[in-house]
Structure formats: structure tokens, C-alpha cells
Homo-oligomer: A and B are copies of this chain.
Amino acid sequence: MINKIIATINEGRSFLITSHVKLDGDALGSELAIYCMLKNIRKKALIYNEDDTPGHYAFLPAAGKIVHTLDNISQFDVAFVLDCSELERVGDKAQEIGKIKKIINIDHHISNNGFSPLKLWDGRASSTGELIFCLFEQMKCKLTPDICTNLYAAILTDTGGFRYANTTKDTLWAAGKLVAGGADPQWISENIYENDPPAKIKLLKKALETLSLDLPNQIGSLVVTRSALRETGASYEHTEGLVEIPRSVKGIAVSILYTQLEDNSYKLSMRSKGNFDVEKIAKKFGGGGHANAAACRIKGNIETIKKDILKAINEAR
């Protein structure tokens, strides 16, 4: 399969690169690494994302090249659909992109629905970035500092800073090779994790007022309301990382961040410790993710949602 993908890359003329809505570090780092590789071998390439690039990923090499409108899809003969378990994850343009002749899907989500026959998929890989590292090794592709920086960022963020269960010896080995090739661990970590506006700390302070630690049920949670965002001047992307706070408490197995989207609608970001599988919970409510990190959206008032989630968690134990 990997040889078929390499042949498709070599034969292709014009490439579309895309990933899922609600962009994360693995989606962006993977896209940008593929883009840099294609440019290095003098191919035509364009990165299209429905959503804007979150500010703390704007430093990634070539991030300025990403576009958010897509016309004339017929110009592309190959599409890379990265870090997507289903084609629909790319957003409103999914159907049009689906018409591109060859689609290469590189992904590590266990829930991948096999939408493309041409795929590099491994549910045990830490990240799509790690799979692309393996592809590039196989291709004997030159690992430039730009490629290394993008792939390092992809791996770093999808392993929660090498902390999740998906961190294997191969993940760390790949990270070491990327550092050897020019990725700077400190600079990348600082840009991603230590580059927050003061409003983010204000939001943290505000969110801590809602902290709930249900030790008998091992569930910790925080709530970010729309008024909390308004009052602190923070935006939706600044909620990232807040879910790690209740997770840090001894005896908490599941941590949930409830972010209010509309009056009666919440996004739930869930993280778990040990063997508890939050992907199962997210799936029950139409969401998805990984065993230790998953998300979904639920309509209703916060108290009812909390009760429903408690029930779902207790049923899954």
C-alpha cells in the first residue's frame, strides 16, 4: 500500500491537501509537512482548510500558505485527506473533494471508515504526523528543518506532550530523528504551549470557579460559559488545555470541559487517565476521538447534560 501511495505522489501533478474542521496540531503539522515535501520535489500543491489556523500554530513553517476558499477543484488530480476518519470531517467541501480522482487518506483514528481505498492507516500510531514520518523514511525523502518542525509539532500535540498512552518507543525515536533534522523542541513547545494572551489566564481563573471534583465517581469538570468568554476577552480557542486541570487531580479518571456554544448547547472535551475509554462516551453522543481524548456536542441545559454524562460513564465502567 505504501508503495502505491509513493507511486501516486510521483505520478501526480497537482495536489490538494486538506484536513478536518476544528484544526489541531496534528492536522496542521501533517498538512504542512506534506506541502513542504511536495514543494521540495517541485509539485503543484495547495492547502485548503475550512477553519482558520489557531494563532498558536501560525508559527509553523509554510502556515501562511493555507487558504480557506476553494474554486476550480478540477485542477487537482490527487488529494491528501489527512487525520480524517471520514471524508465528511473536512467540512462543507467534502462532497466536491470526494470527486478528485485519487484520494490519499493518512490517518490514525481507530474509527476510520475506510472511505478511501488508497490509505495509510494505523490505529496504534500516535498521530498522523508519525505515519507521515514513516512514509517519508520509506520515500527516502529529505527531512528539511521545515518538514521536521511540522512533524514534531504534529506528534507533540497529539501525544499531549508525550504524555498520552499513544506515546511509544517509535514515537520518541521519530521525535529524536526530527530533532536531529532541525526541529527545536523548546522553540516549538514555547510557541504552542507558552504563547497565550493574558486573556487565557483570566479565563483559567474564571473557569476554576466552576471546578467540580466528584471523587466517588472519579469525574472532574470545568464549565466555560459564553459570558465567561465575553467577560475575560478570551475566545473559543483559549479553552484548549483547560480540560487538563481536573485531570491532574489524584483519583480523577475522567476530566470534562463543558464549553457553551449556544444557550442550550455545549461542546464536551473529555480526557481520561489509565484505561478508561472516553471515545466510547463521545461516540454515544455522536462525537469521536481517541481512547484518552475525545469530544462531542450535546444540546440541553448543563445540569441535564452532566447527569446524562454521569450515567453514560457509569454504564461504560
State the A residues within 8 Å of B (CB): 161-165, 167-173, 175-177, 179-180, 185-187, 189-190, 193-198, 200-201, 204-205, 208-209, 211, 213, 245-250, 252, 273-274, 292
Contacts and interface: CB of A to CB of B under 8 A. Distances in A.
Contacts of A185: 162-165, 167, 172
Contacts of A170: 176
Contacts of A194: 247-250, 252, 273
A175 B209 CA distance: 38
Nearest to A163: B189
A79 to B, nearest CB: 33
A201 B213 CA distance: 11
Contacts of A169: 176-177, 179-180
A161 B161 CA distance: 7
Contacts of A292: 186
A249 B201 contact: yes
B197 A249 contact: yes
13 contacts: A161-B161, A162-B175, A162-B189, A167-B179, A169-B176, A172-B173, A172-B175, A172-B176, A172-B179, A173-B173, A173-B176, A194-B248, A196-B249
Contacts of A213: 198, 201
Contacts of A193: 163, 248
A170 B179 CA distance: 9
Contacts of A248: 193-196, 200-201
B211 A208 contact: no
A252 B201 CA distance: 13
A165 B185 CA distance: 7
Nearest to A181: B169
